[in-house]
Chain A
Amino acid sequence: MIQDEVKFSDAALAEMQRYISHYPEGRQKSALLPLLHIAQAELGGWVSPEAMDKIAEILNIQPIEVYEVATFYTMFNLKPVGKHVLEVCRTGPCCLRGADELIDTLKRKLNIEEGETSADGMFTLKPVECLASCGTGPMLQVRELFYENLDSEARVDEFLATMRQTEHEIPTWAK
């Protein structure tokens, strides 16, 4: 799939320039991770090769420099994803409080395996490692927000129902 005509909004471009301005002359590449985050938030939750090329152009670096970084970090989705990516913590401390059960419940209710997107395109299930929320596990992240203490089927149902009604959280810079 191609994100043809990658065009960032003025707000996104301004936010990108703000990050670039945080680094010394000639060190503009330092803003690469923030730029990938901004691109992903703008372009439906993933970054295509075209989007990465555009970022390379903005930073005045080689496209390969963007690809090698984007593939190293787990937060960047390099393939299309559902409307809401459920990043569920699967690490030890959360497992002590029911993370395995949460992942099983989500699989069953959405009828998908890890890494897959539900048939209605609404949810992608993406297990991730510890999110620094171990005291309130089991938990998951969607875009910028944490949903914690998902320790019963009722709470999961409630969460999914809310998400079905929820539009994407709009990043502050775009408001």
Chain B
Amino acid sequence: MGLKILTEHINIPGIETLEVYRKHGGYKSVEKALKTMSPDEVVEEVKTSGLRGRGGAGFPAGMKWSFLAKPEGVPRYLVCNADESEPGTFKDRWYMEKNPHGLIEGMITSSYALGANTSYIYIRGELMFVLRILEKAIAEAYAAGLLGKNILGSGYDLDLHVAPGGGAYICGEETALLESLEGKRGNPRNKPPFPAVKGLFQSPTVVNNVETISSVPWIVNNGGAEYAKVGIGRSTGTKLISASGNINNPGVYEIELGVPVEEFIYSDEYCGGIWKGRQLKAVVPGGSSVPILPANLILKTAEGENRLMTYESLSDGGFVSGSMMGSGAFIVFDDQQCIVRNTWNYSRFYHHESCGQCSPCREGTGWMEKVLHRIEHGHGHQQDIDLLVSVAKQIEGNTICPLGDAAAWPVAAAIRHFRDEFEWHIKHPKEATAPGAVYRGQLDTVTA
């Protein structure tokens, strides 16, 4: 059992209430920060911790905080990104539902560090039931003097509100999120200016993921140096992993960064192995936007080293033989799953979710979906594979926001590692479209 920074108390009955949460040490960080530390000292601890953003990009949180512009007389905002729409990701929902005060405590301590007096939690509209849990907990915190004016007599004021989205994956992108929070369509903004300079209501703003913010209380209580001792290298601390797909124990697991991938998949403490006695075929380790890896490359790097659950190890080999940590959504495929069908499914998702502002993304995602649909349904042409690769290349790097890349990478990676499966679909449409048909060739290279 590794150290549990976020989930130590999560299964205690009643932990969603202020009373039980406080009984287990809750809100200590608010007391400590507001009464004994300056805002800059809190920022320093977060810097020292090496905590990296848990929303997908892995950018160091303390560094992001230190970029926040602080012009005189202009309000600053902290916005929590609880949009959680990346396919495969469900850790934030799970955490907020079970431990709402954990996030609220993090919001107070972090808002104090940034000098924000109004903060928002932007939650995807589908999670209205979680919004209600958060609002109930926020009301408790106000009643206890942990929110509002002069918190715990410290002279610091903070209002905290929850805002629902309306169903749009793109609103997880931070500038689209800010547009949406202002009551507009979720069209990502051109950068610069960055939110740290002009964010919500044109004011300096920090956007952080639920898990990032919820890690701050532990760092304040125990010190950034203690946090940095957990994990390996620049992958410090613990990470919530959403495990889904064809495994025996899907769910959310808090791991110390550095657990071997093989252990994560096969140990009963985590995924518990592949379901129905089947074999591992592939894994998407960081949510639908990151490259898929075949079994041999997810378990070991191209050099034959054990792959570990860290930012560095998962991306070892770059896009040739590696992938990314992303949001920590670990999607496992058994040997009965069709890679072509899955790739088509994801391309439909990105086409559906493109906001339509840039032509490479709007048109390119549509093309990829169309071509993948015809391959999957037995009408593919031999040139289609190269066509897909070329469309993906034209999207990559040519768009306002990273959704374009997120749509292109999974297609390029699926073709890179499973080209023979695509070819089989095109050459043998009848066999490939038979009910339950799955290509088996690639499995010969599996060494589980």
A40-54, CB < 8 A from B:
none
Q: Is the CB of B92 within 8 A of A73?
A: no
| CB-nearest residue of chain A to B186 | A72
Q: How far is the CA of A137 from the CA of B163 in the complex (A)?
A: 26
Q: Contacts of A33 on B, CB cut-off 8 Å?
A: 125, 163-166, 180, 183
Q: Is the CB of B124 within 8 A of A31?
A: no
Q: Looking at the assembled complex, report how far the CB atom of B446 sits from the nearest CB atom of chain A, in whole angstroms.
A: 18
Q: Is the CB of B89 within 8 A of A74?
A: no
Q: How far is the CA of A145 from the CA of B128 in the complex (A)?
A: 8
| CB-nearest residue of chain B to A73 | B166
Q: Contacts of B227 on A, CB cut-off 8 Å?
A: none
Q: Is the CB of A134 within 8 A of B345?
A: no
Q: Is the CB of A135 within 8 A of B250?
A: yes
Give the most central of A24, A34, A87, A134: most B CB within 10 Å. Answer: A134
A45-78, CB < 8 A from B:
59, 68-69, 72-76
Please judge, given known A-B contacts A22-B163, A132-B124, A134-B244, whether A92 and B88 are in contact too, CB under 8 Å: yes
Q: How far is the CA of A141 from the CA of B169 in the complex (A)?
A: 17
- The stretch of B102-110, B329-337, B391-399 in contact with A is B329-337
What does DSSP make chain A's interface, helix, strand, loop or mixed?
mixed
Q: Is the CB of A74 within 8 A of B167?
A: yes
Contact of A145 among B124, B129, B164, B346 (CB under 8 A): B129
| CB-nearest residue of chain A to B353 | A129
| CB-nearest residue of chain A to B203 | A24
Please judge, given known A-B contacts A130-B85, A135-B252, whether A75 and B349 are in contact too, CB under 8 Å: no
Q: Is the CB of B167 within 8 A of A75?
A: yes
Q: Is the CB of A29 within 8 A of B183?
A: yes
Residue B67 is within 8 A (CB to CB) of chain A in the complex: no
Residue B39 is within 8 A (CB to CB) of chain A in the complex: no
Q: Contacts of B353 on A, CB cut-off 8 Å?
A: 129
| CB-nearest residue of chain B to A68 | B185
Q: How far is the CA of A135 from the CA of B125 in the complex (A)?
A: 20
Q: Is the CB of A132 within 8 A of B183?
A: no
| CB-nearest residue of chain B to A26 | B201
Contact of B331 among A76, A93, A131 (CB under 8 A): A93
Contact of B129 among A69, A72, A136, A144 (CB under 8 A): A144
Residue A13 is within 8 A (CB to CB) of chain B in the complex: no
| CB-nearest residue of chain A to B336 | A96
Residue B90 is within 8 A (CB to CB) of chain A in the complex: yes
Q: Contacts of A103 on B, CB cut-off 8 Å?
A: none
- Residue-wise, chain B 82-113 has the 8 Å CB interface mask toward A (1 for contact) of 00111111101100000000000000000000
Residue B288 is within 8 A (CB to CB) of chain A in the complex: yes
Q: Is the CB of B126 within 8 A of A131?
A: yes
| CB-nearest residue of chain A to B169 | A129
Q: Contacts of B243 on A, CB cut-off 8 Å?
A: 135
Please judge, given known A-B contacts A27-B201, A74-B167, A135-B251, whether A92 and B87 are in contact too, CB under 8 Å: yes
Residue B419 is within 8 A (CB to CB) of chain A in the complex: no
| CB-nearest residue of chain A to B284 | A92
Q: How far is the CA of A141 from the CA of B130 in the complex (A)?
A: 13
Please judge, given known A-B contacts A96-B333, A144-B129, whether A134 and B182 are in contact too, CB under 8 Å: no
Residue B245 is within 8 A (CB to CB) of chain A in the complex: yes
Residue B228 is within 8 A (CB to CB) of chain A in the complex: no
B47-104, CB < 8 A from A:
75, 84-90, 92-93
Q: Is the CB of A144 within 8 A of B245?
A: no
Q: Is the CB of A128 within 8 A of B167?
A: yes
Q: Is the CB of A134 within 8 A of B88?
A: yes
Q: Is the CB of B167 within 8 A of A73?
A: yes
Please judge, given known A-B contacts A75-B167, A129-B169, whether A96 and B127 are in contact too, CB under 8 Å: no
Q: Contacts of B333 on A, CB cut-off 8 Å?
A: 96
Q: How far is the CA of A27 from the CA of B201 in the complex (A)?
A: 8
Q: How far is the CA of A148 from the CA of B192 in the complex (A)?
A: 42
Please judge, given known A-B contacts A27-B182, A33-B164, A69-B184, whether A129 and B349 are in contact too, CB under 8 Å: yes
Contact of B166 among A27, A36, A68 (CB under 8 A): A36
Please judge, given known A-B contacts A33-B164, A129-B352, A135-B244, whether A93 and B88 are in contact too, CB under 8 Å: yes
Q: Is the CB of B87 within 8 A of A75?
A: no
Contact of B86 among A95, A130, A133, A172 (CB under 8 A): A130
Q: Is the CB of A134 within 8 A of B166?
A: no
Given A37-B128, A131-B126, A132-B89, 15 new contacts (CB under 8 A): A22-B159, A22-B163, A24-B118, A29-B184, A30-B183, A59-B183, A72-B185, A73-B165, A93-B329, A96-B332, A96-B333, A96-B342, A130-B288, A132-B124, A141-B126
Q: List 21 A-B contacts (CB under 8 A).
A: A22-B159, A22-B163, A24-B118, A29-B182, A33-B164, A33-B165, A72-B185, A75-B125, A76-B167, A91-B349, A92-B342, A93-B88, A93-B288, A93-B331, A95-B345, A96-B331, A97-B245, A128-B126, A129-B85, A130-B85, A130-B349
Interface residues of B (CB under 8 A from A): 75, 84-90, 92-93, 118, 120, 124-129, 132, 159, 161, 163-169, 180-186, 201, 242-246, 250-252, 288, 329, 331-334, 337, 341-342, 345-346, 349, 352-353
Q: Which 8 residue pairs are nearest across A and B when measured between Cβ atoms?
A: A73-B166, A75-B167, A32-B183, A135-B250, A74-B167, A134-B244, A22-B161, A29-B183
